[in-house]
Chains A and B, each alone.
Chain A
Amino acid sequence: MTIYCRYLTGKNPDEQSLALFERAIEHEETILVDDEVRLVQFMISNTWSIGFVDSALGLFNPNHRLRKRMIIAFAILETSPLYFDFFKPKTFPRTHLLTLIAKGMQEALQGLAGSLILLFF
């Protein structure tokens, strides 16, 4: 949760969000098994990898338990006023579409690279 919150919002998670996350992941659908625990440990040690893994799971394995944990973390942060500025509705310039197209292409490459990381776990 800590590295995910920093990765997503650029902020450290607050205590309430951390406590909620701990409680939420007790659900059987999100309990990690051996290789998945090792993957999380790898991501904690190598925080640069979280974006790659996030992309790869979204692209190739959306039902992965780690992806579910990320969605839970996202939901908890989305319902905290501390991160309102990050989640609030925004207006974008018309040219933002071009930025998003570029990001989409980058995302595909990142997902492919991330899938290489997943091969080790």
Chain B
Amino acid sequence: MEIFDYIVIGSGCTGAMAAQTLVEKGVQVLMVDGGMTDTNYDGLIPDKDYLSIKQQEARQYEYFIGKNFEGIPFGKVKTGEHLTPPRKFMLRKVQDWMPLLSDTFSPLESLSLGGLGNGWGLGCCMFSDAELKMAGLNTTKMNAAYETVGKRIGISGDKDDTGKYTSGGLSQLMPSIQMDSTGANLYQNYQRKKSGLNKEGFFMGRPSLALLTEDKNNRKAYQYKDLDFYCDQDKSAYRPAFTVEELKQKNNFSYQGGLMVLKFEEGTDSIKIECRSLANNEPVFFECRKLVIAASCLSTARIVLRSYNAYNTRLPIISNPYSYLPSLQPYLLGRDSDRHKIGFAQLSLFYDPGFNNEYVAMSSIYSYRSLMAFHILKETPMSTKTGFEFLQYMMPAFTIAGLFHPEMGGSTKYLELKKDPGQVTGDALGVNYHLTEAENQKVAHNEHKFTQALRKLNCFVLKKMNPGHGSGIHYAGTLPFSDKNEKFKLHSNGKLGESNNIFVADGSGFTYLPAKGLTFSLMANAHIVALSALED
């Protein structure tokens, strides 16, 4: 059996970034991955904007509501239901191969090429030095890694009031995308009232996004087609699959998709990886000198626990509490002035009561249109006919504020792998996730403060929605960083405790989750871990 220098497990944001670092240094890398791709909708969406498609295309139902109507949620709405039909491939085979038992935690996991990065909201926030320390990360290395990753993926943003919370400190920043009327009106109101809001600890600005506003290599600048939830035609939005496709052109990189990694066994000179084919459940084995696991913190926990036969062993987990606040800007009622709405976040609103960039809560502001009226209509307590008349009037004024809260670990948040012969993997991951009373109060307090701040911006919250723990898709901390060489802990360089050549490049080590989107930090950490694996 060929022994690879390095095997990287997973092709998501962290796997792609770690693999790129390794490949650039010239070592032989094999990426082992679930590798699910979109076979139903790829190439189906015409190269037009949303309204032109709505006006002209007879077969638009195929991608807007799905060939099998999978875009219409019939029953109870679960995590992932919000994905549009062309994005649903991210979830293929997940229920079978990544069983999760929990009444309190509903995460999103993926076996797709590019992982959850296929649906990533593109937010790129740098953690402050204080946040990095609390998360167990090295500030000097991370700040350098942010620069490297930023240059690789391309980031647009502004050095405005929120620059210190986002990526305003990066040396290369493309201009922000233009705003539609939803964002522009709110930002105008902020400019008028910012001094009062700033005194209370609220700061608003343009988000840093992994979204090109200038051409970069074979990727085009954002085209404002209002199809952000459906496709990546111009490749302006960064997806890790782009990196993997580029790496496939290199001689020192190979890719094996369609596989589920079950466990590893570390020997004296090499590490053996046991996988199963997702197609026929046949075992497949690989061997390497160094292993870099970037399977996302839940799957990484599964692999590590299974490898050490550590069933019913509790590991911690942290997940940012998430809620969203559907709101209205009355000034925009009945005014449809936009040819194109924008699906990505247009503004960020930070609440930093200590003015020290430590325990910051964050809200991303979105407009709503290209997700179809029927999604909201079914929640409207009136007839579909009158309900739609109301919606048409209200739609331009609809503003969605997605709200994240910072999160620490605790004894009420843990997972464990349980034997389950009924599952194809022979086990299932159980997760218990509860906030303490004090944490719940803190979340409620923040929600109240954001509601007040939005009101001051003439944006009125209609309802508070809590979709449940895990639904924010920001989780980490299953194998926390530690100074000691302990099993189920990571060294600060990402090496798995009590192992010699096994590294973890996803968020498993983070000991604190700031409310800011963590993906950019995950990628920066993955780059550092890959460098450490090369040096170690």
Interface residues of A (CB under 8 A from B): 7-8, 16, 20, 23-24, 27, 29-30, 51, 54-55, 57-59, 62, 67-68, 70-72, 74-76, 78-81, 84, 87-94, 96-97, 100, 103-104, 106-107, 110-111
Contacts and interface: CB of A to CB of B under 8 A. Distances in A.
- The 9 lowest CB-CB distance pairs between A and B, nearest first, are A92-B334, A54-B383, A29-B74, A89-B336, A79-B61, A55-B383, A75-B374, A79-B64, A58-B382
Contacts of A16: 58
A58 B369 CA distance: 22
Contact of B392 (A54, A75, A90, A106): A90
B333 A8 contact: no
Contacts of A27: 69, 74
Contacts of B57: 81
Given A71-B72, A78-B372, A89 B381 contact: no
A100 B393 contact: yes
Contacts of A91: 334-337
A113 to B, nearest CB: 12
Nearest to A68: B74
A96 B377 CA distance: 19
A115 B384 CA distance: 16
A24 B384 contact: no
A91 B334 CA distance: 5
Nearest to B330: A97
Contacts of B395: 89
B176 interface: no
Interface stretch (B16-24, B27-35, B48-56): B48-56
Contacts of A62: 378-379, 381
B472 interface: no
A58 B384 contact: yes
B85 to A, nearest CB: 11
Nearest to A71: B378
Given A58-B384, A75-B72, A89-B336, 11 more contacts: A24-B69, A24-B72, A29-B74, A29-B75, A30-B74, A55-B382, A71-B374, A79-B65, A84-B54, A100-B389, A104-B382
**Candidate in B71, B74, B333, B387 with the most chain A CB atoms within 10 angstroms:** B74
Contacts of A80: 58, 60-61
Interface of B: 51, 54-58, 60-61, 64-65, 69, 71-72, 74-75, 333-338, 369, 372-374, 377-390, 392-393, 395-396
A92 B65 contact: no
A96 B394 CA distance: 11
B401 to A, nearest CB: 22
A interface secondary structure, majority = helix
B388 to A, nearest CB: 7
A75 B336 contact: no
Given A76-B65, A81-B56, A81-B60, A58 B383 contact: yes
B392 A89 contact: yes
29 contacts: A23-B69, A24-B69, A27-B69, A54-B385, A59-B381, A59-B382, A70-B384, A72-B69, A74-B384, A74-B388, A75-B65, A75-B71, A76-B65, A79-B60, A80-B58, A81-B57, A81-B58, A81-B60, A87-B373, A90-B336, A92-B334, A93-B334, A96-B334, A97-B334, A97-B393, A100-B393, A103-B386, A104-B382, A106-B386
**Candidate in B56, B372, B383 with the most chain A CB atoms within 10 angstroms:** B383
Contacts of B58: 16, 80-81
Given A91-B335, A100-B389, A79 B372 contact: yes
Contacts of A100: 389-390, 393
A62 B382 CA distance: 9
Nearest to B394: A100
A45 B194 CA distance: 60
Contacts of B379: 62
Contacts of A75: 65, 71-72, 372, 374
A51 B72 contact: no
Contacts of A84: 54-55
B386 A55 contact: yes
Contacts of A79: 54, 60-61, 64-65, 372
A119 B55 CA distance: 41
B393 A92 contact: yes
A104 B75 CA distance: 27
A74 B334 contact: no
Contacts of A97: 333-334, 393
Nearest to B54: A84
A96 B397 CA distance: 14
Given A68-B74, A91-B334, A111 B61 contact: no
B149 to A, nearest CB: 38
Contacts of B382: 55, 58-59, 104, 107, 111
**Candidate in A57, A58, A70 with the most chain B CB atoms within 10 angstroms:** A58
Contacts of B72: 24, 71-72, 75
Contacts of B387: 58
B378 A107 contact: no
